[in-house]
């Protein structure tokens, strides 16, 4: 894609979108990113007129209704309907406006639950989904299939889906009510350091393994995808291809935050699934792999946590 290409991003105010906009700005790549107030993807007519008027060369769909297990369990209707509606409104409007290039963001929740092997792209829809966020996952699978079907019906349209693994990084959500493992660990260790807590508890024995990639790496992958759109596979995992034990996140996190106390394992607490790992051979064959080490990623995330004032706000709350 040329330097003058017009790129439209949805979800520019979210964690993925803000990381993408930051990395893109550092490389002088211009991206148009209307907020949900400027362009509500639930409003089909508004989306249709916006795309017909703007006529971007490429659309990146990173908006969605995203939430933790509790929110997904409480409101499966909302997660299913909103993610499907946003996806289909945008993708059908892009097709109707004659936009030939689109990158849709999926999620590793599209894969069957409890898979013993690393998840390969062809495993999507090959088994039962995780019940705790099934509505969300069904919508993600359906939107990815819609992209596929559009290409199948008309090969001039290249609508491709990237499947990122779990992410952490700058612009993450650190509030314990909404946070994933990595920001939760950072916040917990920071509080423990500030309050001189002698021991931090870890749920279970800490051996469960999790694949978390630095969000800046996903931003790099999306920019590479825009650059080399023609060779980008239709469906591609974007992950580390390796994982770390929960204990590793605490150990490295403690070094970065400067927490010098002990860890105590609470074996009465649930540990969740033991492992969920993406197979990244397709991305490697395409010529991309994640570059940020866990140490560097955690350092950048902790700096954001301190500089953005999130640490102070949460400590005051
Ligand atoms: N974060 C992860 O660990 C992760 C991992 C794998 C895949 N993903 C995928 O990456 C995508 C983005 O995730 P994220 O973590 O960046 O989520 P996020 O931080 O919750 O951001 C969601 C974005 O979607 C926008 N949005 C929500 N409803 C909208 C609407 N009706 N119209 C227009 N925009 C709307 C939000 O805009 P407002 O803030 O203005 O409402 C926000 O910018 C999702 O597809 C998710 O499945 C994320």
For residue 68, which phi and psi values (nearest 5 degrees)?
-80, -175
> What's the CATH code, domain 7-167+212-238?
3.40.50.720
CATH 3.40.50.720 domain locations along the chain: 7-167+212-238
pLDDT of residue 161: 98
Class of domain 171-210+243-275+293-316: alpha beta
Closest CA to 93 of 45, 24, 159: 45
Q: Are 143 and 159 in contact (CB under 8 A)?
A: no
CATH 3.90.25.10 domain locations along the chain: 171-210+243-275+293-316
N-term to C-term CA, the chain: 46
Instruction: Tell me, yes or no, if 259 is annotated catalytic.
Output: no
3-state secondary structure of 274: coil
Q: Are 152 and 138 in contact (CB under 8 A)?
A: no
Any residues with CB less than 8 A from the CB of 4 and at least 6 apart, and which?
A: none
* pLDDT per residue as tens, the chain (317 positions): 666 689 999 999 999 999 999 999 999 999 999 999 999 999 999 999 999 999 999 999 999 999 888 888 999 999 999 999 999 999 999 999 999 999 999 999 999 998 889 999 999 999 999 999 999 999 999 999 999 999 999 999 999 999 999 999 999 999 888 889 999 999 999 999 999 999 999 999 999 999 999 999 999 999 999 999 999 999 999 999 999 999 999 999 999 999 999 999 999 987 777 678 999 999 999 999 999 999 999 999 999 999 998 888 887 76
Spell out which residues line ligand 1, taking CB within 6 angstroms: 10-11, 13-17, 35-36, 40-42, 62-66, 86, 105, 107, 164, 166-167
Q: Find the 23 Cα to ligand 1 centroid distance in Å.
A: 17
3-state secondary structure of 99: coil
State the residue for tokens 């495993």.
Answer: 123
pLDDT of residue 197: 96
Residue 86 marked as a ligand binder: no
Q: How far apart are CA 266 and CA 206, in angstroms?
A: 9
pLDDT of residue 3: 61
Q: Which of 111, 136, 159, 168 is catalytic?
A: 136
Closest CA to 234 of 183, 275, 282: 282
Q: Are 298 and 172 in contact (CB under 8 A)?
A: no
Residue of 16, 20, 88 to mutate, ligand 1, most atoms within 8 A of C-beta: 16
């Amino acid at each position: 894609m040329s330097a003058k290409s017009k790129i439209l991003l949805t979800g520019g105010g979210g964690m993925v979108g803000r990381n993408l906009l930051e990395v893109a700005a550092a490389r002088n790549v211009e991206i148009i990113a209307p907020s949900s107030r400027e362009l509500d993807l639930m409003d089909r007519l508004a989306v249709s007129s916006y795309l017909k008027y703007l006529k971007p060369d490429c659309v990146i769909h990173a908006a969605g209704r995203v939430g933790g297990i509790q929110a997904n369990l409480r409101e499966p209707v909302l997660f299913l309907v909103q993610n499907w509606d946003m996806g289909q409104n945008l993708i059908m409007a892009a097709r109707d406006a004659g936009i030939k290039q689109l990158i849709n963001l999926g999620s590793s929740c599209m894969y069957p639950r409890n898979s013993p092997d690393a998840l390969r792209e062809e495993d999507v829809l090959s088994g039962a989904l995780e019940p705790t966020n099934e509505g969300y996952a069904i919508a993600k699978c359906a939107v990815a299939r819609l992209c596929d079907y559009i290409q199948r019906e008309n090969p001039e349209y290249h609508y491709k889906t990237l499947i990122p693994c779990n992410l952490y990084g700058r612009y993450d959500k650190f509030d314990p009510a909404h946070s994933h493992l990595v920001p939760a660990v950072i916040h917990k260790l920071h509080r423990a350091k500030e309050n001189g807590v002698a021991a931090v508890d870890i749920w279970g024995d800490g051996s469960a393994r999790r694949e978390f990639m630095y969000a800046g790496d996903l931003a790099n992958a999306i920019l590479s995808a825009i650059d080399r759109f023609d060779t980008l596979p239709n469906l591609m995992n974007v992950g580390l291809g390796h994982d770390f034990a929960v204990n590793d996140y605490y150990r490295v996190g403690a070094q970065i935050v400067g927490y010098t106390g002990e860890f105590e394992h609470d074996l009465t607490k649930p540990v969740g699934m033991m492992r969920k790992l993406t197979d990244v051979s397709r991305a490697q064959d395409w010529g991309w792999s994640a570059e940020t080490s866990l140490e560097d990623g955690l350092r950048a995330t902790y700096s954001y946590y301190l500089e953005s004032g999130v640490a102070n706000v949460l400590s005051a709350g």
